[in-house]
Every structure is written in structure tokens, then in C-alpha cells.
Structure 1
Amino acid sequence: MTVRNILLASVCATLMIPAAAFAQPPAAAATTAPLHDQLHRLFHESDEAYLKRNPVYAIFRGDLRYADHLGDFVSDAYYDAERAAGEDDLKRLRAIDRSKLDATDQIAYDVFEWQTVNALNNLTPEMLALVAVRPIDHFTGFHTFYPGFASGQGAAPFKTVADYENNLKRHKEYVVLIDRSIGRFRQGMQSGVVQSKMTVSNMIGQLDAIINQGVEGSVFYGPVSKFPDGISPADQVRLKAAYAAAIRDELIPVHTRLRDFLKNEYLPVARETVGIGSMKGGDIVYRAAIEQLTTLPLTPDYVHNLGLSEVARIKSEMEAIKQKVGFKGTLAEFFHYIRTDPKFKPTSKQQLVDGYYAIGKKVDARIAEQFSTIPKTPLEIRYYEAYREKTAAGGSYESGVYDPKDPSKNRPGVFYFNTYDLPSRTTPGMETLYLHEGAPGHHFQISLAQENDRLPAFMRYGGNTAYAEGWGLYAETLWKELGMETDPYERFGGLDDEMLRAMRLVVDSGIHAKGWTREQAIQYMLANSSMGETDATAEVERYIAWPGQALAYKIGQLTMSRLKAKAQQELGAKFDPRDFHAQVLMTGALPMTVLEKKIDNWIASVKAAK
């Protein structure tokens, strides 16, 4: 999956963190500066204020000025500050005459405006009354994000004594945030806006897993289980004791408080139904989520019917593969064959790690044929940690940092894959998952934007789900150009992954707008793909937790594929995929309407060139 950084994006979506603007060097005073400088001064000042209000986002970018704080999330004061900042940003932006900006600045203007308006739409009192009172779920929220972040294996750095002490300070704010979340849940209980019982049960299980780790076995103890060079023996002893105390006296108790509240008070009043449409105000939430996440004003019915059409198309291609390999049974029987035959089963977690690295080498050999710029940020491959693997997606990407001016900040991007219930996993589809999460998928999309310091930082680090996940799925369509999926079973795996994204249109809208049950959605996915029941269950429970997010993949990909086909048709021999991909990637994540306008302008400029 992923988000911009997929883990952080999920957290931001749940906590209503707006996609604010980020850095360019300050320009001259706005009263006398040219319009370009006024615009970029706005970007810079908005960014500086945003990072101070949202320090965890700064840490992901390698900015440690506020690293002793986590953030004042979930509070009324936080939402008020975000709303006031957005209103001020929009007022300043609209005081700049867009028509007098050059083409590049017009794109920046449009993206900034879209992000700010979108953020403000989600910060109205009416929307917060429906969303803020459901502060976490089993797929997004700080209780799923923060343990990995603070584990010593995530984005939080552990290179100096100050880093270790900052983490202890963040723990205290995390405790406040979790207790504050309980308060928000109580507000929802009073207003009748509550999570589903299924979601609550999953959260209880996640919290049990964290609590049961104990102290020295805790994911939070990870940073002091191994120290970097430069931490003195005396500091190591002191920090080990401090970390153990924080886990014993602060973190285990707050997770226990949340678990007990959810189990004893909240679960009995939670919704029996899983669709957001059955919740008070749920239809408003779902329609807003569709527009926010796809960046287009689509209706649930349109999305559902588009999904049915795509499922039928992909199914016909699957039938062709079945015939090619000589399988004599039905497509449903072919799905069962791939799910169950031992030759499609991984033998170990390490086999999968090695397999993904081998796939990466094959992609690297051909990637320059399609892309003119390759990320400098390295890519690592890991499987999910035990505490989160059960409810995690099949794969995800966590962004890295590349700073040539300060290499100490650097960290690789990470492609995570899921090994929970390993016997239920299958190997067809490994190539397409790598294309999506690794290269040229999220790793390219996120890293190339972040490494392009000519962009204002809201275009380097900001984003939207339709672009990010649409690009990941579009990257899968490059299998032939990159010499992948030459084995028919791997190609079937590619179709199976595309089918997953098409089924999401049907299932997400079915659950949240048409009253589908959890079991109905799982059975639909099993009937139309070779997914195992474990994966299908995790997928459906993800859609229940995060309405609308799963729609963005196919909507974004179909938009990008349509724009590519348009460029190929209009440019003919002048079409170069490297130029097209540069147009899509090198200005960061654009809303679909802005991307389409940009590609149309590029096509016109290429046609006009001699």
C-alpha cells in the first residue's frame, strides 16, 4: 500500500493531519517581492509552522528541531490551530494572481490550493464530530504506528544520547495522546458515532499483543537492546533502566487502560454492522472520503459499477492464462489450485526476502529504458514484525531519507511484505508486488520527489492517495517493458493483484454504501481471485477500518494509463516513456485534475516542438 510514507499517511488520515505546505528558502518581503517569491515565501512559512505543530512529520523528513515532541494530536486546540493555519494559507494564496505565474508555479499553486481546501473540508465541526470521535482503528492510528516508529527500526533516529532521551520524552506525549483518544471515544458514545464491533475486537487483540511482550521483550525496548558506537557504558546502563521504567510504568499501563476501556465499555455499544453507511452521518463521511482519497467527485454507484466492469475484463485475461498453462478445470478451480498446490508455497521467510532481492536485480537491469532519473535512496526489503503482521496489508512501503549535505540523516526506503500464516501465502505475484511497493513503484514515486530539492517541499513530501497508490498500480502495468512476468503463473499473479484493486472498487463501495456484510465481501474476493482466506479477510477488515482508501488505487491507475495512451496516440514517434514518466513523477504527487492538465500541456508542447 502506501501513502506518501504509507504508515505515516495512514496515521495522518486518521488524525486529520492536513496536507500542509513545506519548505523553500525564504524570499524577500511579500509586499515588494515578485509573485514567484511571494508564492514560495508562503510555502516556506506555512511549512515552518506546520512542522512545529506536527513534529512527528518533521522527524520523517530528517528534521530533528522538534524531535523531543510527538505532537498535540486529537485535542480541540490542535484542530483549531490546523484550521486557522489553513484559512490563513488560503487567504494568502488567493491574494496572488495565478494568471501571472509561470507554468511551474501554476502547478504548485493548484496543488497547494487543493491540499489546503481538502484539509479545511475535513476540519469543519460537522466533519470532526463524525471522525475525531473515532480516533483510532485496527488499521490506522498511533497505537499501530508508534511502536514501530519508536522501535529502533523505524523513522525515529537512535544515533546519539539526545536521540534516546528525545524518545523518552515522546513516550510521555504518546501516553497523553492515548488517554485523550479514550476521551474522544467517550464523546462518540454520547453522540452515537462509534466504531464497528469487528474493528474494536481487532484493536483489543493488537493491544493484547503489545502488552504481552512485557518489558525487555517489548518493541519499545528495541533501541536499548543494541546501542550505536559513541554511547558510553554509563549512558547505556542509565538508558536501559529509563527505557525499562517507561515501558513498565507508562506504556504498558496506558495500553492496558485503552484495552480495558475498549473491552469493557466501548465494545458493548459498538456497531454490529461494518459499513460506515450504517453509522450516524456515515453517508457524509463516505462521500467525503471518496473525493478526498480519489481527488475526484465520484459517487459510490459510479465506483461500484466501474469495479464490476474491471473485474469482468480482468477475469477474461485470467481465463486466457488458465488455458495457456493447460489447466482443464474452471477458473474457480484454478484459483484453488494456486492457493493450495505446494509448488506455489514459500518455504521460509528468508526465501521470500532472497526472492524479492533477486526480482529487484532483474528490474534494475531494464529500469533505465523507462526512467531517466533513478532514486539515490537505497531500498531495503523486510517482513512485518510479529506485533502487527496479522492485520497488516500484504505489502507496504516506508519512505527513506537521502540528504547529500548531511549523510547522518540518511536511511533507506523499506519495502515490507507479510509472512503471517506463511502456509496461506503463495509466490505468484511476488514480481508485481515488488513493482508496486519497490521499483518503479512507491520507492521511485516517493524518493524522486523527496530528492528533488528544486521543488517546494509540500510537493516533495505532501501527496494524495490517488496519485501515490495509482502510481504503484500503474508501475505494475510496466511488467512487459521491464522484462517481468515471463512465467505465466507470475503473469497470473500480476492479474490477480490487478483484480484485487478492481475488487476493491466493488467491495469497498459494497460495504460502505450498499450494506454488504464482512462475510459477503470476503466471499466475493475469494470467488474472483486466488487470494487465500487469510489475505482476503485482512483486506476486507482494512476496508472496513478505512472507508474509501482502497478506491484510490484503481482510480489513480486508470487515470495515468488513460493519459499515457492519449500521449502515445497524439505524439506517435515523438512519444518517449522516459519523458512521460518524468512528467508524472518529477513534480511530486498531484491531484488527478492537476496531473491531467499538466500532461495535456506537455503533449501540446511536444507537438509544437520542431
Structure 2
Amino acid sequence: MKKLLNGLIISLLVTACSDPATPENNSNSATASEAATKLSLKQQVASITKDYFVLRPEVATYYGVSDASINANVMSKLTDYSPSGETHRRKGLKSILSQLNDIDEASLTPSETISLNAIKSEVKGALLPAQVVNYGNVLGEYGVWFLPYAVNHLSGLQIEFPGYMEDKFAVTNTAEAEAYLTRLSMYPAAMGTLVDKLNHDVSMGVIPPDFVIDNTLRGLQAQISGPANSHPLVTSFNAKLNAAKVADSDTLVKSAAELVNTKYYAATRQLIAALEAVRPKATHEAGIGRLPQGAKLYQTLIQHLGNSTKTADEIHQLGLAEVARITAEMDGLLKEVGYVDGTVGERMQVLLNDPQYLYPNTPEGKQQLMADIDADLALVDAKLPDWFGRLPNQEVAIEAVPDSRAASTSGAFYDAPSQDGSRKGTFWISLYDTASLPSYSLQTLTYHETNPGHHLQTIIGLSDELPLLSTVFYSNAAGEGWALYAERLAAEMGIYANDPIDNIGRLQSELHRAVRLVVDTGMHAKGWSREQAIDYAVATEGIHLSEATGEIERYTVWPGQALGYKLGELKIIELRTKAKQVLGDKFDIKVFHDRLLENGALPLDLMEQKINQWLASETAA
């Protein structure tokens, strides 16, 4: 509102000081009139945005998009996962790209042009895997990633539905409460489409590894282990109704409990039965190289999720080189603090089992862990003004993943804020096993997910003037690359200056991302087994076996996603080094960061193009 008011005052002052009698001003008036009739990029993609959310209704809930704001009925809808629904989604995504290509860039501002090209680039990337294989899902995890398996322990309707409904579905009035109940009632039908897709892909030889099916079954059993009236889908609904003081809430809650008991539980049992029928056909092979066109699919996923044209072998070798570099740095620091015997991985195992760095897996231990996150965030927030010209205007929320989903949640993650501001950007952390969260790793994890990592990047990139699709179709490599860069930045800020143990934890976190380059390509391109990848991660990083297992099983079902961290970070470092060389004494780290972040998480090639253009303009000035 303040920005709009200031703009209006300036417009009035300009009008008051001008002389309407001159021909020049008449010309200016005509030009202004023409400009006023031009549609902004946000206006031009409004119908395309609607088309997207119709394809993926749950993502509208994730971003807090209401039916009224896009003139479509999506709040009470669920994705059609059936084979025909997948075909429709692929055609719909191609149509979206065609409509984006039809937009005339000459009508756009420079910032809008960058945004449009970024959206188009990511849509093209999302379509690449679909042009190679007929199985899997486009617009899968977070409504962007391609997933080779329709059902797995981390993704799919059975994971996203309770997550969206419990955490993100707004219930502030009776109409929204009824929409919530409608979605609950539709769950069996949606589950039926997912089972159809599962069986369709199985018929093509696309079956998740046996350990993925086992993990998925354990998660599903946990979802139906208790009485319906105490299920989080009911208790969270009740809490929202009470907070909003919605009339007749007792009746609405009873309806929700009945729907969970008769619809949600029944649908969950249907998926359990379907997976149990598939389980005997599953193999223990981890990589997608065994799938039809698996090698070609993996190369498209490197482009889609890593913004890279490197081959799997090139990335594997890059990973080995980064592992060697970071391990050497850790070796020196470990020796400084008295850890001298054994490999770096073996010494980190000693550190991992030192009780002074472990949080007890108790309510008190978890409470202390959350308090330490708050303290670490306050420490870095105080230093942000020295490193960024633009600062986030929203605080980040810090929440523990609900117990009902903690076991099936991958470590920690960040959720973007809702568009209406009613829900903050949120750092979610799973406290299922605190042994996998030693204190020396917690600070770096916090900076990755909050400030100066994902939260700062997301808030700076958000703009009322740019379309929501520029946030939805974000670059995985730029987003995760920035968050990894943010970990390094915290060290440059002096956070670890007097804390060598936590700095070792930071380097272990970077090593973890280098290991990802090795094991992801190892499994999906070089035939590594699950066990080989786990053993390599434990031996190299010195992390807890449970953490390594969860991570490796994650890479199995999200091939290529884990490559984005290191590939993105290395590109940002490369661009920063170039900017320092080109600008010399004129280089300002705050300006560099602002230029890098102001248009959101741009695909890496567009990020490089943008920085090069900025450097050219600076040197020409």
C-alpha cells in the first residue's frame, strides 16, 4: 500500500508541474495513454496461471491462491493421476508453453522479460522428460519436478494430500470449511486414479525398488494407525475452525472425522493393497537406468533439475573433485581441534557419537533444539544489512513436522508464504530422530532454509508486479544452489570465527552436497546399489547411518534433484568471482546479491546472462 501511495503522489506532482499546452506534452500524453493500455506480464499470463492451477489444484492451496483470485474452482478439486489425466496434463503443459511463446517481449519491461524467459525455460525443462518416456508424472513434487514413480515414500497423493490439508488449507469461514470437507470426500476417487496410474506404469516395467515400496507401506500404515477423530486431518481442521470461530464447528468436525474414517482410511487401504500386489515384482536395483529409456531420462533430469548440459560422467568426476577439495579443508580443521586419527569420515563419526553434540530424543531435547534454531537465526539476521541491500520484509516461521508425518519427511525443508500473507514462509524440521541432527550441523541447516538461504531468496524474489508463475516455476539449481551458497556466506559473515566445531559442521554440509553428485550419478548412471551409495556417504561424510539411508533413498525416487545444490552453488561462486575481477574496487557485495536475487530463482543460464548484462552496463557507465 505504501508503494502504491508514493507512486500516486509522484504522478500527481508530475502532472501538476507540467504544461499541457505544448505539443511536446501532448505527445507525452499520447505516449502515456498508449502505455496505460499495455497489459503487464502478470495480466497477460493470468489465464495461463489459471490453466496451470486447474492442472494441479493442490499447488494453488500450497501458494494460498483462492478460487476468486483466478476465477476457477480449484479449492475443492484434486489432481487426476490416471493415465488419461497424465496425458491431459502433458498436453496442458505444452499448451502453456505455446501461450507463453506467443507473448510479445517488446511489450514488456526488462524485469518482465527476464521473468517470462525464466518461466518458459523451466516449463521447457519440465517437458523434457515427458518427451522421452510415457511413464511417470510431470508436475510432480511441488508441482514442478518430473517423478519417474507415481507412488513413492516421499511423493504422491498420499504424501501431498495430508500435507496440504493440515498445514496449508485455509479455513476461515463456512464456505472454506465445506470445501475442506469436499476435498476429503473426493480422496477415494483421486486415490483410484493414482492406483490406475501405478498399475499402468507397472505394466510398462516401471516399478519402484523394493525398499521404496516397503518405506511407502510403512508410511501408509502409520496414517491409519489411530482413531479417525484424533487424526491430524481432523484435529488440525478443528483448530482452524476454532481459531476462526466458524459457526457450527462441532458438526463440521464430526463430518470430517466420519469422512476420514469412511473415505480417507478406505482409500489408504486401497493403495496399501495395490502396493502389496506390486511388491513381489520389485527388484532391489536403485537407479532408473534399468527403466525403459532410463539413461536418456536421466540426462533430461540433469537438464530439468540441474540446469546443466553436463553428462552424468562429467558430474560424477566433478563430485569426486569437490569431495577431495572439501575433505582436505576439513582434515586441517579437525587436526586443529585435536581429531587426528583416521580418515575424515572416521573422525566425523567420532564427533557424531560425542554426547555433548547430541540432542536427547525427548520432548526436552527437541525443545532445546528448536530454541537453538531461534538463537542461530537471530545471530545471522543481525548481520544481513552488511551483505544485502534488499532485506526480507517477512519473518520466517519455524515449525516441527507433525509427528504423523515426521517419519516419512525428508529432514528439513522450506515452504514459501501464501500469496495473501496469511501464512508465513516456514522452515519445517523433522524431529523424528534427533540423533541425525547433531548440534554442529544445526546452525548451517538453519541458514540454508531461512536467512540468508531459502527464506531470504524467496521473499526478495517475490513481487506483486510479476506473475505467480515466476515463483511456481522456479529453478531447482538456482534455489538450492543459492541456499548452499548461503551456508558459505554465513562463514564469510564471521558466524563461525570462534566456533571451529560448527565450522566443521558447515564443511560437512558442503561435503554432503558434493557426495550427492557422486552417489546420484553413481546410482542412476553407473549402476551403484543402494548399499554402495549408503556406504560411500557414511564413509566419506561420517554421518549417521539413518541419515545416509534416508538421503540415498530420497535420491532414488527424485533422480537429478540433488545435483542442483552443488551445480547451482558453483555457478554463483563463478559469477561472483567474475564480478570482482571485472569491477575491481567498484565491486559491492550487497549490489551483487541484489542483482542476483531480484528476479527470483532464475535458471542458471539466464542468471549468468543477467549478471553479464549488469557487468557490461557497469563497465560502460
TM-score, normalized by the shorter chain, greater than 0.5: yes
Deviations 1:529-587 (A, max 9, x none): 13111111110110111111111110011111111111111111111111111111110
In structure 1, C-alpha distance between the alignment counterparts of 2:130 and 2:37, rounded to whole Å = 29
Q: What is residue 349 of structure 1 aligned with on the other side?
A: 366
Change (3 A) 1:417 1:87: closer
Is 1:121 matched with 2:128?
yes
Q: What is the aligned partner in structure 2 of residue 513 from structure 1?
A: 525
CA contact (8 A) 1:460 1:587 kept: no
* Of 209, 222, 229, the match for 1:216: 229
Q: Distance in 2 between matches of 1:207 and 1:417?
A: 20
- Normalised to the residue count of structure 1, the TM-score between the two structures is 0.88
- Tell me which of 422, 439, 442 is aligned to 1:427: 439
Q: Per-residue deviation at 1:55?
A: 2.6
AA in 2 matched with 1:147:
P
Distance in 2 (alpha carbons) for counterparts of 1:102 and 1:215: 53
Q: Residue 20 of structure 1 corresponds to which residue in structure 2? A: none
1:376-432 C-alpha deviation (Å, 9 max, x unpaired)? 2221112222233234223211112364xxxxx511121122322224531112111
CA contact (8 A) 1:391 1:538 kept: no
- Find the counterpart in structure 2 of residue 474 from structure 1: 485
Structure 1 counterpart of 2:80, which letter?
A: F
State the AA in 2 paired with 1:278: R
Report the residue type matching 1:562 in the other structure.
E
Q: Is 1:531–2:553 an aligned residue pair?
A: no
After the TM superposition, which of the residue ranges 572-581 and 310-319 deviates more from structure 2?
572-581
* Equivalent of residue 74 in structure 1, options 75, 81, 86: 81
Alignment of 1:64 with 2:66, yes or no, is yes
Mapping of residues 184-223 of structure 1, within 5 Å: 184-223=197-236
C-alpha distance 39-73 of structure 1, shift in aligned 2 (>3 A): same
The 3 A distance-change label for structure 1 pair 421 and 78 is: same
Query: By how many angstroms is 1:285 displaced?
Result: 2.0
Displacement, 1:608?
1.9
Structure 2 letter corresponding to 1:127: V
Quick check: 1:431–1:484 contact (8 Å CA) kept in 2?
Answer: no
Q: Is the 8 A contact 2:81 2:194 kept in 1?
A: yes
Partner of 1:228: 242
Can you give the 5+ residue segments of structure 2 that lack an aligned partner in the other structure?
1-33, 68-72, 139-147
Secondary structure of 1:440's aligned partner: coil
Shift of 1:274: 1.2
Alpha-carbon spacing, 1:271–1:33, altered in 2? closer, same or farther (3 Å): farther
Instruction: Note closer, same or farther for the CA distance 1:362–1:503 as it changes in structure 2 (3 Å cut).
Output: same
> Which residue, out of 109, 115, 131, partners 1:108?
115
Please tell me whether the aligned partners of residues 449 and 459 of structure 1 are also in contact (alpha carbons under 8 angstroms): no
Could you state the TM-score of these two structures normalised by the residue count of structure 2? 0.86
Match of 2:409 among 378, 392, 398: 392
For residues 588 and 431 of structure 2, the distance between their equivalents in structure 1, rounded to whole angstroms, comes to 39
How far, CA to CA, are the matches of 1:108 and 1:379 in structure 2?
A: 25
Structure 1 residue 364 and structure 2 residue 381: aligned?
A: yes
CA contact (8 A) 1:567 1:575 kept: yes
Q: CA deviation at 1:50?
A: 2.0
Aligned residues of 2:41 and 2:466 also touching (Cα < 8 A): no
Distance 1:510 1:493, change over 3 A: same
139 and 89 in structure 1: CA distance in 2 versus 1, 3 angstrom threshold:
closer
Q: Is the CA contact 1:499–1:529 (under 8 Å) kept in the aligned structure 2? A: yes
Aligned to 1:5: none
CA distance in 2, matches of 1:392, 1:357: 21
> Who is 1:600 aligned against?
612
Write the distance in 1 (CA, Å) between the matches of 2:282 and 2:196.
15
Q: Which moved more, 1:554-563 or 1:327-336?
A: 327-336
The aligned residue for residue 28 of structure 1 is none
Q: How does 1:248-263 map to 2 (within 5 A)?
A: 248-263=261-276
Amino acid at match of 1:129: Y
User: 1:134 is matched by which residue type in structure 2?
Assistant: Y
Greater shift in the superposed pair: 203-212 or 134-143: 134-143
Q: How far is the alpha carbon of 1:456 from its aligned partner?
A: 2.6
1:425, 1:532 within 8 Å by CA — same for their partners in 2?
A: no
Q: Would the alpha carbon gap of residues 47 and 97 (structure 1) be closer, same or farther in structure 2, given more than 3 Å must change? A: closer
8 Å CA contact 2:242, 2:249 repeated in 1: no
Q: Is the 8 A contact 2:453 2:484 kept in 1?
A: yes
Q: Is the 8 A contact 1:42 1:89 kept in 2?
A: no
Residues 209-235 of structure 1, C-alpha deviation per residue, up to 9 Å, x if partnerless? 0010321221211234433345356x1
**Contact preservation (8 Å) 2:154, 2:554:** yes
- Call closer, same or farther: CA 1:134–1:45 in 2, change over 3 Å: same
SS of residue in 2 equivalent to 1:177? helix
> Is the contact made by 2:395 and 2:424 (CA closer than 8 Å) also made in structure 1?
yes
2:294 aligned residue (282, 287, 298) = 282
SS of match in other structure, 1:479:
helix
Q: Is the 8 A contact 2:394 2:424 kept in 1?
A: yes
- 1:482 to 1:213, Cα distance in 2 relative to 1, 3 A: farther
User: Are the aligned partners of 1:58 and 1:64 in contact in 2 as well (CA < 8 Å)?
Assistant: yes
1:376 equivalent among 382, 393, 410: 393
Amino acid at match of 1:475: A
Contact 1:377 1:400 in 2 (8 A): no
With 441-450 and 85-94 compared, the bigger mean Cα shift is at: 85-94
What is the RMSD computed on CA atoms of the aligned residues? 2.3
Indicate conservation of the 8 Å contact 1:314/1:495, yes or no: yes
Residues in 2 aligned to 1:401 and 1:38: alpha-carbon distance in whole angstroms: 22
- The Cα of 1:298 is off from its aligned counterpart by 1.9
- C-alpha contact (below 8 Å) 1:399/1:443 kept by paired residues: yes
Aligned residues: 567
Q: Which range is displaced more, 428-437 or 83-92?
A: 83-92
* Superposed counterparts of 1:293-332, under 5 Å: 293-330=305-342, 331-332=344-345
Does the CA-based 8 Å contact 2:83-2:197 persist in structure 1? Answer: no
Q: Residues of 1 paired with 2:496 and 2:80: CA distance?
A: 44
**Helix, strand or coil at the partner of 1:416:** strand
2 CA distance for matches of 1:445 and 1:373? 10
Partner of 1:326, secondary structure, is coil
Instruction: Please tell me the residue identity of whatever aligns with 1:116.
Output: V
Deviations 1:297-321, CA, capped at 9 Å, x for gaps? 2211011000000000000010111
Alignment of 1:539-558 (within 5 A): 539-558=551-570
Q: Distance in 1 between matches of 2:115 and 2:302?
A: 23
| Distance apart, 1:94 and its partner CA | 3.9
1:240 paired residue number: 253
Asked if the contact 2:112/2:466 (under 8 Å) is kept, the reply is no
Residues 1:425 and 1:114: Cα distance change in structure 2 (over 3 Å): closer
Deviation at 1:459, TM superposition (A): 1.9
Quickly say closer, same or farther: Cα 1:182–1:232, change in 2 above 3 A: closer
Q: Is the 8 A contact 1:397 1:437 kept in 2?
A: yes
Gaps of 5+ in 1: 1-31, 404-408
- Partners of 1:519 and 1:314 lie apart in 2 by 24
